[in-house]
Structure 1
Amino acid sequence: MSQDLTELYNQLKASEERYRELVENANSIILRWNQEGIITFFNEYAQKFFGFSAEEIIGQHVVGTIVPEDESTGRDLRPLMEDICRHPENYALNVNENIKKNGERCWISWTNKVLLDDRGKPVGALSIGSDITKQRQLEIELQQAQKMQAIGQLAGGISHDFNNLIHAIIGYAEIIDEISQQTEVTEQARLIVNTATSAANLTHQLMTFARKGNVQLKHCNLLGLVEDTVTILRHTFPRNIRLIHQTRTEHAWFQGDATQIKNALLNLALNARDAMPDGGVFRMDVDEITTEAESSIGEFRMPAGRYLRLRIEDTGQGMTEEVTQHIFEPFFTTKEMTRGAGLGMGLATTYGTMHLHKGAISCISAPGKGTLFELLLPACSAPDSIKPVPPEHKCAPVSMLVVDDEDMVLMYSRQLFSLHGHQVATSNHPLKALEYFREHWRSLDLVILDMLMPDMDGHALFLEMKKIHPEVKAIIASGYSNNQRVSAALDSGIRGYVQKPFTYEVLEAELAKLQNG
């Protein structure tokens, strides 16, 4: 009997050792805790992961050691252990935020098995966890990218409709200015034009965010743009902010719109200034990097290749993670409405600008630790030469057909263009316009086409007109900026493009290019 008991004891001991070895060497977090939430077992992997030794953690409450009282999402985790024991069916699989000894936050996916006594009452639980922090971060980035795309589509649609309305407001104000003989009336009309133009600038910013902006692709030198920006900042930054800029590349050429990129740099710089009311350091560093494989930065997809990298850093107040996730959204701002860019469009416009340039922007910030923005732009070779700007010319009167589905636009176009000596016919539907063109193309010098119309867009209408008269001259007018659809129209033979809202002066310049080109 004694021998049998000894053999049974040895078997149990061996089984326990195998179990302990399995638990201690598992690549999972394993802990046991009692019904009060006190930790009674913490395996070796858990100790390494959280940074606590067994002596430090055993006997401590789960909440306040490896589980924070409040999740960064706002969820209260203090009743978590009690809830697991009361409602085990809801926590068989549970994801919550955890915290390491050094304060670092992480996300763990837990499987929880409630332990029962002989009477079936909970006496604690066995919890096994896996680190899903990277997966969680990727999910958050994907959700953020999807949200930004949705906001961009909404912003683009709103801007297009606003541009049509503003276009009509500017047009009618110009008519009043032309026909009125009273100085006071003409002055008021010009104020309307100026105010409407300011509204158009706002919609232009929304268009840029929505990636429907107009990028004038030219060779640009990033080093020159940074130098120009720093020169401006030296006159606008207070003396308690030290400016540093450094370049680690001799050439920094890219294809893009210098004005948009400079505006982006100024937006970032002025935000940094506002984040350092008591002074600090602001620096801009430029270098060049080469990526060997395609990668992604948030919503930005970056093919392999050479990129100019601009790092813009300040030692200011910094931002929380929650604020950082929203900074590129239109109209989001942490500033008082009386300060600076109260409308909150600066970073949203910068975000759209980087998309339009096939680049990327990212942000790292923490409260009290400043902010770092990193911008990437596809690099290109230096230009062979710079073409001279052609001189401006006035245009002669023409006979034109204006096609637009907005009756307000047609009414003011007929009046305003006629006041400048042009013969103007109008049509509010592309099929009606096509019939008119079929009968009158010989007497028409020009067709002005709206891009988006029912049944047939401006490009398709132009192609149908081209079948009737291959030499037809046409200009596209659109509430959207020069996007892919407009570019395709220009490639097919349309002679020019004007973005709504535009003044007569802008149209006259386009007509002059056609007549003198």
Structure 2
Amino acid sequence: MFSSPAFLPPERQGALDLPGIFGRVLLAFAGYYVMARVGLAYAIVGGAISPVWPPAGVAVALVWWLGPWVLPGIFLGSWLANMQGAPGPVYSLGIAVAATAGAWVAARLVRRWAAGYDLLQSLPGLVRFGAGAALVATMVAASMGALTMAWSGLLPWSRLGSGWLTWWLGDAMGVIVMSPALLAWRLPIHWAWTRARVIELGALLCGLLLAAMMVFLWGAPQLAGDAPLAFVVYPFVIWAGLRFGAHGAAVATFLLVAISLWGTTQGLGPFGRFSSPQAFWLMQIYITCLATTAHVLAALSAQRRAAEEKLREQAMLLDKATDAIVVRGPDDRVAYWNKSAERLFGFTAAEMIGRDETPLLYKDAAPFHEAKAAVLRDGEWAGELKTRTKTGDERIIFSRCTRLPGAPGAARSVLAINTDITDRKRLESHFLRSQRMESIGTMAGGIAHDLNNVLAPIFMGLPIVRESVTDPEALATIRAMELSAGRGAEVIKQVLLFARGVEGQRAPLHAGRLLRDVEHMIRETFPKSIRIERAWSADLWTLVGDATQLHQVLLNLCVNARDAMPGGGELKLHAANVTLDTNYSSLNPEARSGPHVRIDVVDTGEGIPLDKLERIFEPFFTTKDVGRGTGLGLATSQAIVRNHGGFIHVYSEPGKGSTFRIHLPAQPGASTDEEIARAPLPRGQGQLLLVVDDEEAIRTTLARTLERHGYRAITAKDGAEAVGIYAEQKAEIAAVITDMMMPVMDGPATIIALQRMNPHVKIIGASGHDANGKVAKAAGAGVRHFMPKPYTAETLLKTLREVLGEE
């Protein structure tokens, strides 16, 4: 029975340890025997019943602490202690059995009733411990002991009831006083041994001892009848329980029991004037109330500390949360403000606790008040709100609000969990804008194809007309027509370039031409209130890069400059050749020594505040109002410039404008547009060419241009007709010029059919744009030469010379 694992404490379960068991039995024997001799010295009934029986508390603590193996030691200690002066051995054995049974029952009941509770540091555990060990188990021992004394003749049967009551109260007092005193020292001390705490403990002990001696010893002869004086010690007991927990309550109770017991046995104190056993019954009731008060307060204090620790842990978890968590009172004053709220809004908890958040966080408070009304009405609400930070930055949050429980009819507080979705909303806006641009690009591609087909005959026909005209005015008109057609082609190219994001390969690029294209675009599209100034020399060095991407960089900077001057101003485009030396590159980690083209985009706008200047290249960071910018323009521009081996710096001052300076690696030896001399157009040697296009004007003009420059031409209106013609004259046809987008049979299908008939056929592709990947399909079939519409006669003839010159 005693070896049942369920009975043993968890830390004591396992294999038997005989030396350890013997040591525990010996300890229990010695402890019980000594305490029993002390208790018997104060016996008031039959020489065996004491008003306070400390061995009962020692036995319960030892069985609970060391396990059931200490019961033999308790039995031996009780038997030997009661043998002296006993009427016979049966009496001593009966008392020993009663003491052992009481301890065993107490441990069993407490382990069953208080399972899962802390005995001394929780009120439920303390109540279960008192009920099981101090009340029920002591009744078992008192019943067995009182019957043994009556049977042995030490207690008259007529006084069996009063003897039983005194025994039971004495055992209960022993359990209440001694068990907590022993078990408390297994608990960790919750306070630190600071100087202030030691001084406080000394003051408590001195005050307690002085009050106890004054009540139970010194003042007894004059104040014996003034029982209310006993309550002088209560403040010190309360002090001990609240400030020093179970340890303080145990020590205070032990000292008061010892002093009050000594004074009462000597006829002193408020209970000394009563006859025995009445005096000891009153003292027992008094000590029981005193000890109960001390231990209950200690348990409540421990529960409060545990609750506070749990709250601190929960607060730490809330502070670790990425969401801003706020609790608002009924008057909108902040009651809780976690660390994430500090990071999101910029206000510290000290700044916000007790303040109304509405004027601080909401520029337009109407949506907030609507949300508040909804959560108070329905219990919860979730939605988006526009807020602002301490620095004035606008943020968009997704707020989940819940009405907290409260007394019926009382105003309720609200818990708000706020997630910053500003970047996500900007990304969504950018994504939707990208989708719109993709749709626009698809539509623009179709329009561009038609417009290029319209411009192609003009480009090829005007040189023919110019050759037959000698009148200077007519030649000037033709030149104006050529310029207008070229301008139209550039507009179409820019539409495709920026609407669809078409990218080309890196190639030598003339910086002046790049700047002229950007200047032309912004002059045509920017408000007239913005004056545009250009300054660069004609001998700008050549860049190696992607024209599309560099156009995007310059256009981004110019658009930002325009937005910084809503009321108008001056926009400057400056460029110059510079050579960076090693000293400059050592001071600028992004720079590399060597020749560069420096491009400045200068505006006279609002400027950029210093606290935002360091963040302007961060993705999604923007100084523009919500809805006016994605925050990706400058980040993309910086990435493109760095990808080209260059770097970009910004110089700005609020109220005086901004300067964005770009350095791009250059090639000084390359020729510029102005240095390229116009060479004579190459001519054919009578080769026969097959022209395939669904536009009759293009077929006719292209054939005439070829014939005027030494070629013969045969035309087809679609791919099917072209395949038929080539099948009949493939031996004579030197090359095929075919459009990519045609009805019946498009360009890629025509190319594949021609290559099946002649794997070595020479083909030149032509298209207004890469619609549906047709150019890519043709390239995959082995076609290496393409001419973007509209193309000039010069482009056509040079491409033909290259194709026909290949082996």
The residue type equivalent to 2:372 in the other structure is M
Question: 1:62-77 counterparts in 2 under 5 A?
Answer: 62-69=357-364, 77=368
Query: SS of the residue aligned with 1:323?
Result: coil
Indicate which of 452, 462, 469 corresponds to 2:741. Answer: 452
Say if 1:370 and 1:76 are closer, same or farther in 2 by CA, change over 3 A: farther
Retained in 1: the 8 A contact 2:738–2:766?
A: yes
Amino acid of the residue matched to residue 17 of structure 1? E
Local SS of the residue matching 1:445: strand
Would the alpha carbon gap of residues 475 and 53 (structure 1) be closer, same or farther in structure 2, given more than 3 Å must change? Answer: closer
Offset, 1:445: 2.8
1:442 maps onto 2:747 in alignment: no
Match for residue 81 of structure 1 among 372, 379, 387: 372
Shift of 1:211: 3.6
In the TM superposition, what whole-angstrom CA distance separates every residue of 1:276-311 from its partner, at most 9, and x where no partner exists? 777799999997979xxxxxxxxxxxxxxxxx9999
Correspondences of 1:245-260 after superposition (within 5 Å): 255-256=544-545
- Report what 2:276 is aligned to: none
Moved more, 507-516 or 199-208: 507-516
State the partner residue of 2:624.
320
What is the RMSD of the two structures over their aligned residues, measured on CA atoms? 5.7
Q: 2:324 aligned with 1:39, yes or no?
A: no
Q: Which amino acid aligns with 2:682?
A: K
Deviation at 1:411, TM superposition (A): 4.3
Q: Deviations for 1:385-433, whole angstroms, at most 9, x for unmatched residues?
A: 99x9996543135422211233443344345555666533222221221
Give yes or no for the alignment of 1:13 onto 2:315: no
**1:432 aligned to 2:727?**
no
Shift of 1:66: 3.2
Whole-angstrom CA distance in 2 between matches of 1:123 and 1:448? 80
**Secondary structure at 2:483 match in 1:** helix
Deviations 1:129-177 (A, max 9, x none): 3455555565555555555555444444433333223324545666776
Deviation digits for residues 8-55 of structure 1 (CA, Å, limit 9, x no counterpart) = 854763465245314432224332213443323334654465443445
Secondary structure of residue in 1 paired with 2:361: coil
Match of 1:212 among 495, 498, 502: 502
Partner in structure 1 of residue 216 of structure 2: none
CA distance in 2, matches of 1:188, 1:383: 37
| Counterparts in 2 of 1:62 and 1:495: CA distance versus 1, 3 Å | closer
Q: What SS does the corresponding residue of 2:737 show, helix, strand or coil?
A: strand
Structure with more relative contact order (C-alpha pairs < 8 Å, separation 6 or more): 1
Q: Which residue of 1 aligns with 2:492?
A: 203
Contact 1:272 1:314 in 2 (8 A): no
Q: CA deviation at 1:112?
A: 1.5
Q: Could you say which residue in structure 2 is the equivalent of 1:165?
A: 454
CA distance in 2, matches of 1:419, 1:390: 19
Question: Greater CA deviation, 111-120 or 396-405?
Answer: 111-120
* Cα distance in 2, alignment partners of residues 178 and 269 from structure 1: 44
1:516 Cα deviation after fit: 5.9
Instruction: Using the TM superposition, name which of 17-26 and 475-484 deviates more.
Output: 475-484
User: Is 1:174–1:190's contact at 8 Å kept on the other side of the alignment?
Assistant: no
Question: 2:325 — aligned with what?
Answer: 30
Match for 2:629: what amino acid?
A: T
Task: State which structure, 1 or 2, has the greater radius of gyration over its C-alpha atoms.
Answer: 2
Partner residue of 2:401? 112
User: Which has more strand, going by share of residues?
Assistant: 1
Aligned equivalents of 2:604, 2:473: Cα separation in 1: 49
* Unaligned segments of structure 1, at least 5 residues: 244-251, 291-307, 329-346
Match of 1:499 in 2: 788
Query: What is the identity, as a one-letter code, of the residue corresponding to 1:325?
Result: T
Task: Give the alignment's TM-score, normalised by structure 1.
Answer: 0.64
The residue correspondences of 1:14-413 to structure 2 (distance < 5 A) are 14=305, 16-18=307-309, 20-25=311-316, 26=318, 27-28=320-321, 29-43=324-338, 46-47=341-342, 50-69=345-364, 77=368, 79-91=370-382, 94-115=383-404, 117-119=406-408, 123-131=412-420, 139=428, 142-143=431-432, 146=435, 148-170=437-459, 191-209=480-498, 210-212=500-502, 214-215=504-505, 217-218=506-507, 225=511, 255-256=544-545, 314=602, 316-317=604-605, 320-321=624-625, 322-325=627-630, 392-396=680-684, 397-413=686-702
What SS is found at the alignment partner of 2:412? strand
User: Residue type of the partner of 1:200?
Assistant: A
- Indicate the residue corresponding to 1:465 in structure 2: 754
Query: Residues 289 and 136 (structure 1 numbering): CA distance in 2 closer, same or farther, change over 3 Å?
Result: farther
Structure 1 residue 265: Cα displacement: 7.0
Cα distance change, pair 180–383 in 1 and its aligned pair in 2 (3 A): closer
Judged with a 3 Å threshold, the aligned counterparts in structure 2 of structure 1 residues 187 and 133 are, in CA distance, closer, same or farther, namely closer
Contact 2:683 2:710 in 1 (8 A): no
Distance 1:128 1:326, change over 3 A: closer
- Match of 1:247? none
Alpha-carbon distance, 1:477 to partner: 1.2
- The runs of 5 or more residues in structure 2 that have no matched partner are 1-288, 520-529, 536-540, 591-595, 607-622
The aligned amino acid for 2:750 is L
- Counterpart secondary structure, 1:472: coil
Asked if the contact 2:649–2:662 (Cα under 8 Å) also holds between the matched residues in 1, the reply is: no
Looking at structure 2, the residues matched to 491 and 415 of structure 1 have their Cα atoms a distance apart, in angstroms, of 31
Checking the alignment, whether the CA contact within 8 Å between 2:681 and 2:794 is kept in structure 1 is no
- Aligned mates of 2:715, 2:345 — CA distance in 1: 73
Aligned residues: 453
2:447 aligned counterpart, secondary structure: helix
Amino acid at match of 1:451: M
**CA offsets 1:98-136 (integer angstroms, 9 cap, x no match):** 333233444444332113554467623112334555555
The change in CA–CA distance for 1:391 and 1:33 in structure 2 (over 3 A counts) is: same
Q: Are residues 362 and 405 of structure 1, via their aligned partners in 2, closer, same or farther at CA, if it must alter by over 3 Å?
A: farther
Q: Is the 8 A contact 2:380 2:400 kept in 1?
A: no
Q: Offset of 1:435 from its aligned partner?
A: 1.5
1:205 & 1:14 partners in 2: Cα distance? 72
Helix, strand or coil at the partner of 1:101: coil
Deviations 1:169-220 (A, max 9, x none): 54566677678999988766654443232111101112222243554x4367
Q: Is the 8 A contact 2:648 2:663 kept in 1?
A: no
Pairwise CA distance, 1:327: 9.6
Report Cα offsets for 1:213-258 as digits up to 9, x if no partner: 554x4367xxx959x979x99xxxx9xx9x9xxxxxxxx998535x
Check conservation: 2:734, 2:804, Cα contact below 8 A: no
